[in-house]
Amino acid sequence: MGLAEELEIGRGITAVIGSGGKTSLLDALARELDGTVVLTTTTHVLPFGCPVLTDADERVVEQALWYSRVVCVGTPTGDGSGKLAAPRLKMRTLSVLADYVLVEADGAARHPLKAHASHEPVIPAGADRVVQVVGASGFGQPVAQAVHRPEVFCKLAGCDAADVATPALVARAIAHEHAGGLRADVLLVSQVTPQGEKDVRSFEQALREEGDQTPVVTWPALA
């Protein structure tokens, strides 16, 4: 079974949130999915490794997809970073032009774990599927080191920033976010090594003990 099938990625708009491999996941899904794909964002991302369309209208996107099965659509941030912001076209318009629209809808400043501020994530209206990524490499590290927005995480999990981010603490924080309204249709625990499989089992058990029934899929660490 492929990753897209495990995550139940269907045609339409899929938003990817969380931390610990969102961009790698989007790249992998774009390669795996059978059909045309638009890669885009609601935040700020570096361009993906495919043809990049900036400030594109419908005609430009439609023509580009004739020549390349996968394209990246966004708007230059203009701050010299080389990053792209949200496209000018609406996500639903892009979903008419392409079979799949894959959206990076969250930022984590390269941390494997994160908690969300009140303005995050930026899930596009009408998203058909939301995948939340959790980086297993953060398990066992101090919260202050592994977590983006550790102060929010500590409030959710009832811990201190100096505490270790155990699978149970991460599960508690995520369960509380979900109970508070954060949408996640499936959790993808990424960066999983053979030695870390026990941590994943502990994470899922703790999640269930918190009353959170969100499906969990694992993704091995990339070589």
Question: What digits encode the pLDDT tens for the residues 40-52?
Answer: 999 999 999 999 9
Contact at 8 Å (CB) between 16 and 105? yes
Q: Distance between CA 68 and CA 91 in Å, rounded?
A: 19
Contact at 8 Å (CB) between 43 and 77? no
Residue 218 confidence (pLDDT): 96
- Of 123, 58, 31, the closest CA to residue 86 belongs to 123
Residue 102: partners with Cβ closer than 8 Å, 6 or more residues away = 14, 16, 26, 29, 30, 37, 38, 39, 40
Q: Distance between CA 53 and CA 39 in Å, rounded?
A: 10
What is the Cα 221 distance to its own chain's centre?
16
State yes or no: pLDDT of 223 exceeds 80: no
DSSP category for residue 46: P
DSSP category for residue 13: E
**Model confidence over 79-125: pLDDT tens digits?**
989 999 999 999 999 999 999 999 999 999 999 999 999 999 999 99
Q: Which residue has the tokens 């949200």?
A: 86
* Dihedral pair phi/psi, residue 127, rounded to 5°: -60, 135
CA angle, 63 then 10 then 111, to 5°: 90
Query: Is the whole model's pTM more than 0.85, yes or no?
Result: yes
Residue 1 confidence (pLDDT): 72
* Dihedral pair phi/psi, residue 12, rounded to 5°: 115, -150
Helix (H) or strand (E) holding 163: none
State yes or no: pLDDT of 168 exceeds 50: yes
State what percent of residues in the chain have pLDDT above 90: 95
Per the prediction, the chain carries an average pLDDT of: 96
Q: Distance between CA 184 and CA 164 in Å, rounded?
A: 25
